[in-house]
Structures are given as structure tokens and as C-alpha cells.
Amino acid sequence: MDVAFLNINYLLKAALVTLEMAVATVVLSFIVGTALGVAAALSGRLVRSVLTVYVYVVRGVPVLVLIFIAYFGLPRLGVDAPNYVAATIALVIYFAAFVADIVRGSILAVPKSTVEAGLAIGLRWRQVLMQIQLPLGMRLALPPLVTTASIAVKSTSYASIVGVWELTYASREVVERTLAAFEIFFTVMVIYFCICYPISLCATYLQRRYAAA
């Protein structure tokens, strides 16, 4: 494992890039996804159908293929974007679909009777949304959202295939140089774990704090 320690600085620098991509992906996909999910929960059949189609398409395609499409497709559209931008766009499109579906389902899962109780005391629909449906819905959405965030972080490794210099890419460089495949990949696994584990801890904390429901 000496090999691992010799190269650890290089790998950690790359891990930082992974972290940047992960944060960007999670934040953007959650913002877009939540907006779409809320819209779909509250809107009529048309918006809901659009969202359903979007989710089915995304679920039917490997995220790597989406990254390829973004990487090769953006120049076709005249957009000259660096490879990590293309990869992030693809990841956001991919994960926003899952977030939207989760948020939509969670808002609709808030019992109709609780919503009616809000209406009965004279709340307007906007107040019911902000005071009852969103707070309760997001509590329900927390566990699946954390799982999604976790998967999103790990999916950033696909960006290495289009040449983005992040942890997976750097690990392959080091393996090529040192030929110590197992040791290096094992180390990288530990680094990924260190990035993902806090997300799970965060989730447990948030669930305990807001589990008054």
C-alpha cells in the first residue's frame, strides 16, 4: 500500500474536483427537480404527462450515454463548452428527473384529510402548499432524495470517460503509471466512501430532527 500513500496527494486533488462536480450536480438537479416536481403535483394532466414522459425516457437510458450525447451534442448546437460542463449538464438532466418524481409523489402522498383541515380553517391554496404540503411532503421525500444524492455523487465518475479530470480519471492515470491496480482502486474506493458517508449521516440527522410526523 506504499504506492497508495505515495500518490495520495494527487488522488486527493482529483477528489476535490469530484466533490465540486458532485455538489454542482446535486444542487442543480435538486433545484430543477423540486421545481418540476411541485409543478407536476399541482398542475393538470398536461404538465404531469410531460413529467412522466421525461422520467420514463431518463429511466430508460444509461447515464453514461446521456453524458456522451451532451459531450458530442453541444458542439453540434454551436455551444463550445468544456467537457465537465457537458458532463454536469447531462448529470443534472438525469437526476432532476428522479428528484422531480420523488417530490411529486411525496407532495401527493400528504393525506388529503390533512390538506382539508388546512382549508377548513380558512387557509388559501398557496398557504396550504407552503404550510402543509411542502413541509410534510419534503419530510416524506427525504429518504429517497438522500439515496438519489448519493447515487449522483458516485455517477460523477462517468465523467472520466469523456476526459474530465476527476477522481476516477486520476486513479486510472496512477494505475497506468504504477501498475498497482488493486491498491490504487482500493484507495479510491475509500475516498469515495469518505465523500458519500457524510451524506448518509446528514440524512439520518435530518430524519430524526424532522420525524415529528
Partner 1 sequence: MNNAQPLPTSRPMIEVRGVSKSFGENQVLKSISFEVKEGEVVVLIGPSGSGKSTLLRCINYLEDFQAGEILVDGAAVGYNSSAGGSKRIKQSETEIARLRTKAGMVFQNYNLFPHKTAIQNIMMGPVLVNGESKAEAREHAQALLAKVGLADKANHYPSQLSGGQQQRVAIARALAMRPKVMLFDEVTSALDPELVDEVLKTLRDLSTEGMTMIIVTHEMQFARDVADRLLFFYQGSIIEDGPPNDVFANPKTERFQAFVKRFQSAATAA
Would you tell me which residues interact with partner 1 (CB under 8 A)?
111, 113-114, 116-125, 127, 131-132, 135-136, 139, 210, 212-213
d(CA 173, CA 178): 9
* Minimal distance, residue 110 CB to partner 1, in Å: 10
d(CA 149, CA 26): 6
Listed in sequence order, the DSSP H helices in the chain are 2-42, 45-59, 63-76, 83-109, 112-120, 125-128, 134-155, 167-178, 181-210
* CB 38 within 8 Å of CB 103: yes
* Minimal distance, residue 10 CB to partner 1, in Å: 47
Nearer to partner 1, 117 or 189 (CB): 117
Nearer to partner 1, 75 or 135 (CB): 135
Q: For 69, how many CA atoms within 13 A lie in the half-sphere containing its CB?
A: 12
Nearer to partner 1, 85 or 115 (CB): 115
DSSP letter string, 141-185: HHHHHHHHHHHHHHHGGGGGGGT--SHHHHHHHHHHHH--HHHHH
Amino acid at 145: L
d(CA 48, CA 66): 23
Nearer to partner 1, 76 or 126 (CB): 126
Nearer to partner 1, 57 or 117 (CB): 117
Nearer to partner 1, 57 or 109 (CB): 109
